[in-house]
Structure 1
Amino acid sequence: MRDIKELIGNVEKYKNVLLQKCFESKKNTVAYVVINGQPRILKWYVPGLKQNMDLEYSILKKGFSDLTLPSPLEKDAENNVLVMSYIMGENVCDIINDPRKVIEEKQKVAHLLADWFVNFHTFFKSEDGFRLRGDANLKNFILSRGRIWGVDFEESRIGKPSEDLATLCVSVLSTDPMFIDEKFELCQIFLDTYLKSVKWDVEQLNADISYALLERIQWRPNDEEILRKYATKIRNKGLRVARHNF
């Protein structure tokens, strides 16, 4: 991953940018900065991923006024940079995994996450099918002023809503502490809230959760045994039974 200081130091239009914080990113360089006194996010895409920038910009441009998404402020095609509004708040991954947070607070977040996905899938549904947010991991959500905000849409694609739901559930279950009873409860609240709110059928959810757990092995090889174990249980018995059948 490239250092954002290369961009700030070498590109004239960014020389007055004040760097505040860099974020972890698998592919691109993402930073919280101040531009002309205003907090902003700079996302600097690697040269081969210009199409990802175009996709993310188009989703934000279409959805930011109706959904809780960052505002796309500028697409700098020459330098492969997207400038977005900064969402100040608490990362949802930290909330769900914080032992000091009461369960009621986490349950509320699970409800809010479900509402966010209902709104996203409803808004972007078209004749082509459902647009998925993609990369639906907890770290890509922020709780701000009592609302959930989604960030990072470069992996968005057309697919089945169950794929987004499965990725979110796997993110809940497999982040530390892994596969504890509380995590299964939060997943069930999230899924039940979503399923009660939508007018379409969601099929093969347990199979998609199982598959998403197996996919995670490539990023978490040290956890392969436990990921395979729960992938098999959820595929064969379902999420609800797997929770109580260790």
Structure 2
Amino acid sequence: MHDITRLIGGVKRYQNVFVQREFKSKRNTVACVVLEGKLRVLKWFAPAFKNGLLNEYQVLKQGSSSLNMPHPYEVDMENSVLILGFIDGENLCDLINNEDVSFGEKQRLMVLLADWFAGFHRFFRGNEGFRIHGDSVLRNFLFSDRIWGVDFEDSRRGKPVEDVAGVCASILSSDPMFTTEKFLLCKTFVESYVRLVDWKVEDVGEETAYKLLEKIQWRPEHEKVLKTYAEVIREQGLPVGLL
């Protein structure tokens, strides 16, 4: 990732930007900034992920007026920068893994997340099929008085079940991993989503197993447990934690 001071010090457009805080990101430099007196999110794309900039901008430009996602204020292709509206919310991953948040509240959040995905898939459904988020991990969602989706650089054409499975894999593999509560939250999420849509949602277990195996490249220290649960879920389906 870039050091954001290089952008601020080296590009005239951003010399009056004041950085409030930086966010965790595996790929790009992302920060909450004050730009022309307004609170914004500045996303500076690494060269290897520059194609994701235009992809994310196009998704947000099309969907932000109808769906809960940040408004794209500026796109700077020359410097690989995207300026977005700031959303004041709590990260969904932190909420789901917070032992001080009641199980009932976590279930409510899963219902709201299912509603967000149903709306997203419905809005972007076309003659060529569905557009999916493409990186449907809990950390890409915020909660204020509603659920907000962020980080659409990997959005593409695909099957909605890929997003559904991505959420389930994220729930199960975040700490604490593979608890009974986590499997119950997956159950709530999947059942809520299925009730909301008019298309088939098949092979959730198979897709979730695949998503868990994908995580090994980022988390090699958890390879054994991820492989074990991926195999069990592939064979028995998602409710294995309740057996």
TM-score range, shorter chain: over 0.9
1:16 paired with 2:16, answer yes
TM-score (norm 2): 0.98
What percent identity do the matched residue pairs reach? 51
Counterpart in the other structure of 1:3: 3
Of 44-53 and 168-177, more deviation after overlay is shown by: 44-53
Cα distance in 1 for partners of 2:208, 2:122 equals 21
AA partner of residue 7 (structure 1): L
Match of 1:70 in 2: 70
The 3-state SS of whatever aligns with 1:155 is coil
Distance (whole Å) between structure 1 residues aligned to residue 96 and residue 242 of structure 2: 20
The CA deviation string for residues 221-243 of structure 1, in whole angstroms up to 9 with x for no partner, is 11111111111111101112x12
Aligned AA for 2:42?
L
Task: Give the root-mean-square deviation of aligned CA atoms.
Answer: 0.9
Unaligned regions of 5+ residues in structure 1, if any?
A: none
Cα offset, 1:142, TM superposition: 0.3
Q: 2:241 aligns with which of 236, 240, 243?
A: 243
Counterpart residue number, 1:211: 210
Contact kept? 2:183, 2:242, Cα under 8 Å: no
Alignment correspondent of 1:166? 165
Which residue number corresponds to residue 186 of structure 1?
A: 185
How far did 1:21 drift? Answer: 0.8
Q: Tell me which residue corresponds to 2:81.
A: 81
Deviations 1:27-65 (A, max 9, x none): 111111011221100011123433211110000000000
C-alpha contact (below 8 Å) 2:92/2:139 kept by paired residues? yes
SS in 2 for 1:83: strand
Query: Could you tell me which amino acid in structure 2 is paired with residue 18 of structure 1?
Result: F
CA contact (8 A) 2:27 2:49 kept: no
What secondary structure is seen at the aligned counterpart in 2 of 1:32? Answer: strand
1:102 aligns with 2:102: yes
Q: Deviations 1:130-149 (Å, cap 9, x if unpaired)? A: 101011000000001x2000
Q: Which residue of 1 aligns with 2:123?
A: 123
Render the CA deviation track for 1:166-190: whole Å, top value 9, x for unaligned. 1111100000000111111111000
- Structure 1 stretch 40-49 or stretch 173-182: which is displaced more? 40-49
Which runs of 5 or more structure 2 residues have no equivalent in the other structure? none
Q: Distance in 1 between matches of 2:76 and 2:214?
A: 33
Shift of 1:193: 0.2
Give the SS at the match of 2:209: helix
Q: Name the amino acid aligned to 1:206.
A: G
Identify the residue that residue 174 of structure 2 maps to in structure 1.
Answer: 175
Cα separation, 2, equivalents of 1:49 and 1:148:
26
Aligned partners of 2:164 and 2:190 also within 8 Å: yes
Q: 217-226 or 80-89, which moves further after superposition?
A: 217-226
Q: Is the 8 A contact 2:114 2:192 kept in 1?
A: yes
Amino acid at match of 1:42: L
Equivalent-residue separation in structure 2 for 1:45 and 1:131 (angstroms): 22
Give the structure-1-normalised TM-score. Answer: 0.97
> Which residue does the alignment assign to 2:200?
201
Equivalent-residue separation in structure 2 for 1:48 and 1:217 (angstroms): 21
